[in-house]
Structure formats: structure tokens, C-alpha cells
Amino acid sequence: MDEVSVDAVTLDLLREARETVRSSPLGVINTPMIPWCQTTLPLSINCNIHIKLENLQRTSFKIRGVANQFARRPRGGHFVTMSAGNYGKSFAYASKHYGSKGKVVMPETAPESRSVLIQSFGVEVERVPTSCLMNVVNRCVHEDNMTFLHSYDDLDLIAGHALGMELLEVMPEPDVVVVCCGGGGLLAGVAAAIKLSGCDKTRIYGVEPEGACTMYKSFIEKKPVGMDTKSVASGLAPPFARLPFELCQRYVEEIVLVSDDEIKSAVSTLYRSGLVVEPSGSAAFAAIVNGKIPELEEKNVVCILSGGNIGKDELANFPN
């Protein structure tokens, strides 16, 4: 894959991608952003928080980036990707719509229900150890002549995450924005959109699980690094990636960590308030309610809930 400079991500590029996503035949939703005070969620901080409900997005929050990717690829292609669920679900939906053949290489730690859901769109799934994901993808590219669509380290995908501009329509000058971070594609896209739109003073925080903190360690080492990952938030445990790291390094204030217990509690709290959010999508919420984000008093804050990809079998494993 040709390396793309971080400078290739411009405001014009993001605006063009946003229009592509808006007009996509995949039916991407402008998801609601609601005040925290209009929910039954607990809050002990005196601040104005809005929640961006990307857990209500069609297929998953990844559909934005996928819509931009597929709009720039030939119809009827033969594509392969790697995903723990969210990207795979959107990829499979798009493949069916565009008449493309597809294969998702999935970490064997991902819930079986996600494999079944992706296969229901007519896409093949191969489950492998996390450390083997790229090896299997490369085999498909070289032996089966498939085209690799990256699930987070891809310019078109990152540019497609236009919800940074979307949330500015509701809150034009947020003081703080909190986003989950796995491979960093969503965080990079949101952060770039907000900063390039002129919100220089906005503090943007990425949130990772303690057991899958590749971006956190990359910030410390000042280069992309990998690690053996283990977390209940399987969607936040991908290999490291260069372009998202460089964008996050430029635009993100800090990466903060939450424990698996804090993530589990967040999933349960959100569910009791009527919001179905997977562990990975609950990380930003977990960081806020557990005091991981500094200086929120009297600030305008946006918390992005980024995934509702959770089945009944998974929900049964969380505390009441």
C-alpha cells in the first residue's frame, strides 16, 4: 500500500468526502446528538455534554468510511478486509449493494454472532488469531488476486468519517470531544475535521482499553507500535497503523485508558438508560463517568457512542 502523507488530509478533501457520504446509495444516517440532561444517565460533573448516537448508524459507524471507499472503487470488485465486526458488517452490506465479492478476515476472539451476521450478507468470513490477520490478508491479495480495503489505515476511510463536521452543526465550538480509539481511523477523521474546521482550542481525547492501548503506547514512543492485546472491547484491539497515528499525533490532545471493568459497567449503565452500545463503543462514555478526562467543569463536551454491534449473547455477560 502506498504511503499517504498526513498533509493529504485537507479540509477540501474532508468536505468532498462528506458530500460523497451524504449522497451515498448506502443510506448513511445523520445520527442524532442529544443533551446528556435529556437522558437518565448519571452525571456528577457540572458541564454541558451532548452524546452523538453513532450506535444508531446503519450497520455501524464504519459505514461512513466504507461509503467513501466503495464510491472510489470499481463496481463488482473482489475485496478482502480484516475486522472484528463493525467494519466487516458495513463492508459486507456495501459489497452486497454494489455486487462485489468480499471476504472478512476476523480475529478469532470476536463473538461468533458477528461472523454469522456478516455471512448473512453473502460475504465469506475466515477466523484467525489476531497475530495472523495481515498474513491471511496478504495471502488473499497475492494468491486470490483480491484487493485489500483497510478497515482503519486508509485515506478514503478516514476522510469518510465526516461526523466531526456533523457534530459541529449542533455544537459549533466544543471545548472537549471524546472518541474511542482502536486502529484510530474514526478518531483521526473526527479530530482532523474539527481542527481543520477552525476549532483550534477544542481538546480531543481518544480512549483505549488498558489491555489494548496501541495508540497510547505509540504516543509515548512517538511512532506506531504494536502489542499483544486482550480486552472485552475486541473492536478496540487491532494492529497499529501509521496514517491514523500521525493524524492523531497532530490533532489529538491525549489518549486516556479505561479498564475492562469500567467498560463493562458503562455498557450496563447505557443499556439501563435505553441505549444499546457495544463495549468498544462505550469507551468514551466510560472515560467521562470515571473521571479520566480532565477539566470538564462548565465546558461544552461531546461524547461519541460509536457502536451498537452487540448481540443478546454478549449482553448476557454484563452486570445488571
**Contact predicate 236/259, CB 8 Å:** no
pLDDT average, residue stretch 28-34 = 96
Q: Which domains does the chain have, with CATH numbers?
A: 6-60+156-315 (3.40.50.1100), 63-152 (3.40.50.1100)
pLDDT average, residue stretch 193-203 = 97
| Residue 212 confidence (pLDDT) above 90 | no
Q: What is the pTM of this model?
A: 0.92
Measured between alpha carbons, how far is 96 from 14 in angstroms, rounded to an integer? Answer: 26
| Residue 2 confidence (pLDDT) above 80 | no
- 8-state DSSP, 108: T
Measured between alpha carbons, how far is 34 from 283 in angstroms, rounded to an integer? Answer: 18
- Report pLDDT for 186: 93
- Report pLDDT for 234: 60
- Report pLDDT for 320: 66
Q: Would you give the distance in Å from CA 253 to the centre of its chain?
A: 18
Q: Would you give the distance in Å from CA 306 to the centre of its chain?
A: 6
**Contact predicate 104/123, CB 8 Å:** yes
Q: What is the chain's mean pLDDT, rounded?
A: 91
| Residue 1 confidence (pLDDT) above 60 | no
pLDDT in tens, 63-105: 999 999 999 998 888 999 999 888 999 999 999 999 999 999 9
- Report pLDDT for 240: 66
pLDDT band of residue 271 (cuts 50, 70, 90) is: very high
- 8-state DSSP, 144: H
pLDDT average, residue stretch 40-58 = 93
Cα dist from 300 to 43, 49, 52, 172, whole Å: 14, 6, 13, 10
